[in-house]
Amino acid sequence: MTAPRLRFAPAALLSLCLAGAPLAGRDIDPAWLSVDAGAKTLRFQLIAGLTGLNGALNFNGFRDGGLTLVIPEGWRVELDFRNHDGMLPHSAEIITPVTPLPVQPVAPAIARAFTLRLEQGLVSEATDTIRFVAQPAGEYLISCGVPGHGASGMWIRMRVSATATAPTMVETPVQAH
């Protein structure tokens, strides 16, 4: 579990040096993703309201699909959800992409891929762990289930890939709504 972090660490340090100052969470933090390639397992820290972006209606400092978690098909996924927002409750579920986004919780696109208190939300600093197998291949969203939050931009993307050989996090274009 430690080797991937060590491999990514120099890049993180370099980006900090080049930028002069941390970009307040807009960058991807390599520490969010832990990979056990042998076991085909990943852990992703899903942090609601990490920054003040979009009135804290963000995951890991990204809104409206600005971050994509890419997962090889068939890998076991552990999403470690934490609500970092000091004000609002939040939750998370894996849903099928739709436009516009639903304003209420919907059935998850993958069995068991949703947090506790999906509609009410988990209070500040509450945590929950979601475990599921990433299949079938396709495009998904990780969206907050609290009414109105997803539709206001509190969602990122998850791609289950039949061709990727390792999990990655990539910045993706923000979708207007």
Nearest distance in Å: CB 167, Cu ion: 24
> Which pair of tokens denotes residue 121?
């939300």
Q: How many CB atoms lie within 10 A of CB 145?
A: 24
Distance CA 156, CA 150 (A): 9
Q: Nearer Cβ to Cu ion, position 149 or 159?
A: 149
Distance CA 32, CA 54 (A): 21
When binding is defined by CB under 5 A, the residue of 33, 109, 113, 146 that contacts Cu ion is 146
Nearest distance in Å: CB 46, Cu ion: 12
Q: How many residues bind Cu ion (CB under 5 A)?
A: 5
Is residue 47 within 8 Å of 144, Cβ to Cβ? no
Q: Nearer Cβ to Cu ion, position 43 or 90?
A: 90
Q: Which one of 36-44, 69-77, 98-106, 152-160 is the stretch in contact with Cu ion (CB under 5 A)?
A: 152-160
Is residue 83 within 8 Å of 89, Cβ to Cβ? yes
Nearest distance in Å: CB 146, Cu ion: 4
> Which amino acid type is present at position 117?
R
Q: Which one of 28-36, 64-72, 96-104, 137-145 is the stretch in contact with Cu ion (CB under 5 A)?
A: 137-145
Q: Nearer Cβ to Cu ion, position 42 or 56?
A: 56
CA atoms within 13 A on the CB side of 32: 25
Distance CA 46, CA 103 (A): 21
When binding is defined by CB under 5 A, the residue of 43, 63, 84, 149 that contacts Cu ion is 149
When binding is defined by CB under 5 A, the residue of 42, 101, 118, 144 that contacts Cu ion is 144
**Contact track, Cu ion, 56-95, x by CB under 5 A:** ----------------------------------x-----
Nearest distance in Å: CB 112, Cu ion: 20
Q: What angle is formed at CA 144 by the lines to CA 137 and CA 53, rounded to 5 degrees?
A: 110
Integer CA distances (angstroms), 11 to 14, 31, 36, 106, 127, in order: 5, 12, 20, 38, 29
Q: Give the binding site for Cu ion (CB under 5 A).
A: 90, 144, 146, 149, 154
